Every structure is written in C-alpha cells, then in structure tokens.
Amino acid sequence: MMRGMRVHSIDAIPIDIPLARNFGGSTYAVLKRSTVITRLATDEGLVSEVYNGDNREHGVEIARLIREELAPRARGFDVVERERIWQTLFALTHASRDRKTLMEAIACVDCALWDVAGKAERRSVCELLGGVRRALPIITIGGYYREGKTLADLGREMEAYRAAGMAGCKFKVGGLAPQDDAARVAVARRAAGADFILAVDANRGWSVEDAVRFAHLVEPLDIHWFEEPCHWHDDAAMMATVRRATRIPITAGQSEITSQGVRRLLDAGAVDFVNFDASEGGGVTEWRRAAALCAAAGVRMAHHEEPQIAQHLLAGVPHGTYVECFADPERDPVWQALWANRPPIKNGVMDVSPGPGFGLVLDDALVRRYRTG
C-alpha cells in the first residue's frame, strides 16, 4: 500500500435488535443483540464496513466516544500507522473512566483501520496477518438454560446444530449444581455423537470445589475445553487449581481487555486456550500482541464470538482454532441477516471471507431499521 492515505472521518452506528426470548447463561441475561458499525473514510474515498461487539448497555456511548473523542485524535494519521494511532487512543485510558467501554470503542476504530488497509492493498485481514488458512472449523454456542426445557429438548438442540453444519457446540453450564449440569452435558454428548466437538462454558459460575467436581463428572465425555470455570474475583489462581485437578483443557480470556490481562492468565498457568476478544480488547492490533504471547507459551488461540472478525484473526495465525457463532436463528439476527454476504457453512467448516479487509457487506435496510443513534 502506498503511504499517504489518511484518516478523513469516522462515524459509528449503534444497533439494537430485540430477541424473542432470554438467551442468558449462568450469570447473565441476553434480551437483545447489539453491535456497533464503524465507517472510517480515508481522504482517497475508501470506507470501512465493519461491526464489533455485543455491548447491550453502552452502544450509544461507544458510538459517542468514537465520534467525539477518538475520531478527532485519529484524523490526519496515515492509515498504515496503526500502532501510532492505537497508542494515541490508548493513552485516553490512563485517566479515570470506564476503561472497558473505551477499549471497545478503540477496537471499533482499530478494526476499521485494518479493514481499510486491506481494501487499499486488495488483501484480506487474514492475509495481512500471515494468511495461514483459508477456512476454519466452526462451532455454535448453545445449551442455554430456559424454564421448562427438558433433557430431551437439549438432545434435539444438539441434533439441530449438526443438521446446521456445525462442527461442535460450546455448551452452557455453571448455573446448576455440578451433578445436574453434568447430566445435561451427558445428554448433549449422546445426542451429538462422538465426533462432535463439545466444550463447556461456566461463565465464571462456580467455586473451585464445584468446578473440580463437575470436571471429574464429565471427563469421560471427551470435553474439548472447560471455559471460565470459576468466580471472577480470583479467577486466574482458581482456574490454575482446576487445571491441575483435571485433564480437561481450561479456556479463558474473553473477560480480559488487554494483552497484559492475557499475560496474567499465562503467568498463572491457568489456561490451555485463550479466547481473547478483539472487539473487547482494543482491536486487531492488541489481539495480535495477545496471540504472540500465547504462541510463545504454547497456548492455542480461540476467540469469543464475533465470527466476522475472528475468522480472519484465527486463520491468520498458526495456533488459531475454531470460529464461534450462534446457529440458533433467534439468538443472533446479525449473523443471520445483517451480515449480507456471510460465507456458507459446509460440513463444520467456514471459508474465510475472501474480499479485501474483513470482506463484509451489511444489509443497509436492517441498519436503518435498528440503529439507535
């Protein structure tokens, strides 16, 4: 890419799409699907088309931060100067403020810069990162708790995911007693079959004792990983204890907002996989730093949700694993409809979008209908 193309303007559009029912896990509720679309324009007329995150409380504030605080600081920079831009924006976190929300806003701008850089070079973000693979296995998130949901319903849910072409499922646990959640997982394994990837996610729902008890109950079920097993307040130390007590690999990272937070997990010996989320943690630029730390530590990279971003990141590094999505049509209308040119899913595999940048085309009519600011 020729130097000299500069950031001209940045706009942000918050989106809220109501859901038909609650899709919560052990420690939270989900009643709408939210995201922020970022349109960064260069002085040569290139415009990004990218969306990030699922912040259901602060979407309007993220858009305000982008327009009023980040855009003026990024304007005029050469778009190849992504590290300089990132450091300029990150300096705002040193003052007392809601750093998590600010890091999500920085992520939007950073991903838009990578999208524009790819468009300028006519290369995908995956190719800019190294282009290791052109396709990845894809798993769905499921097993949600719902009043009146039976074990038979869980079995049918797993069968539906297989029929939808998924390679596996990340299954919600942590909301019941260990033996009750273990019974749910056993049903899922029987229904899905031995060749289906089955991971479990407690969303920080258990004590060390309950997490270890659950792990021992489900070890015979070939569980691919056990995500965020323990409560938030001492999670790294507690996860390390659980990791020593079970042969099931431990996963965490989605609750971190910096690569230094990922380093904390690595230093504690707490994880086998890291699912650091670029949309939560400052974008591609910071995710790449976290991925480098994990590569040096022999820890594999996953990614929390956000398949439109994750596909490029995980395919761009040699230690990337699975793209995550919500295969249930009611859970993620963004995946189902807003992402207008989403690659098809075949036999548990998703092709990486081949277009330049992130390769995204969005449905403008849905953007107009559901924008909130």
Concatenate the DSSP letters of all residues of 37-50 into one string. Answer: EEEEEETTS-B--E
Q: Residue count of the chain, please give it.
A: 373
Same domain, 252 and 153: yes
Which pLDDT score is estimated for 361? 97
Q: Is pLDDT above 90 for 373?
A: no
What's the rounded Cα separation, in Å, for the pair 237 and 85? 34
Which pLDDT score is estimated for 4? 82
Confidence of residue 329 (pLDDT cuts 50, 70, 90): confident
Same domain, 154 and 300: yes
Same domain, 188 and 307: yes
| For the ranges 93-102, 172-181, 324-333, the one whose mean pLDDT is highest | 172-181
Confidence of residue 3 (pLDDT cuts 50, 70, 90): low
Same domain, 100 and 132: no
What's the rounded Cα separation, in Å, for the pair 110 and 128? 14
The answer to the question of residue 2 being in a domain is no
User: What distance lies between CA 335 and its chain's CA centroid?
Assistant: 13
The answer to the question of residue 196 being in a domain is yes
Model's pTM, two decimal places? 0.96
Confidence of residue 114 (pLDDT cuts 50, 70, 90): very high
User: Of 164, 167, 172, which is closest to residue 139 (Cα–Cα)?
Assistant: 167
Same domain, 147 and 291: yes
Fill in the amino acid letter for 321.
T
What's the rounded Cα separation, in Å, for the pair 42 and 63? 19
Q: Is pLDDT above 80 for 315?
A: yes
Same domain, 137 and 271: yes
Same domain, 111 and 256: no
Average pLDDT score over residue span 344-356: 96
CB 101 within 8 A of CB 61: yes
Residue with tokens 């021992």: 216
For the domain that residue 139 is a member of, what is the CATH number? 3.20.20.120
How do residues 195-212 score in pLDDT, each as one tens digit? 999 999 999 999 999 999
Confidence of residue 97 (pLDDT cuts 50, 70, 90): confident
Percent of the chain with pLDDT over 90: 94
Which pLDDT score is estimated for 2? 52
CB 40 within 8 A of CB 46: no
Same domain, 191 and 306: yes
Structural domain total, the chain: 2
Q: Is pLDDT above 90 for 9?
A: yes
How do residues 65-78 score in pLDDT, each as one tens digit? 999 999 999 999 99
Whole-number average pLDDT of the chain: 96
Same domain, 323 and 231: yes
The answer to the question of residue 358 being in a domain is no
Same domain, 177 and 72: no
The answer to the question of residue 290 being in a domain is yes
The answer to the question of residue 1 being in a domain is no
CB 177 within 8 A of CB 208: no
Same domain, 254 and 296: yes
**Facing residues of 52 across strands?**
36
Same domain, 77 and 140: no
3-state DSSP call for residue 206?
strand
The answer to the question of residue 131 being in a domain is yes
How do residues 124-144 score in pLDDT, each as one tens digit? 999 999 998 999 999 999 999
Which pLDDT score is estimated for 28? 81
Structural domain harbouring 55: 7-123+363-370
- The least confident of 129-133, 220-224, 243-247, 284-288 is 129-133
Confidence of residue 105 (pLDDT cuts 50, 70, 90): very high
**Facing residues of 11 across strands?**
39
Measured between its terminal Cα atoms, the distance across the chain in Å is: 34
Higher pLDDT, 113 or 96: 113
For the domain that residue 75 is a member of, what is the CATH number? 3.30.390.10
Confidence of residue 26 (pLDDT cuts 50, 70, 90): confident
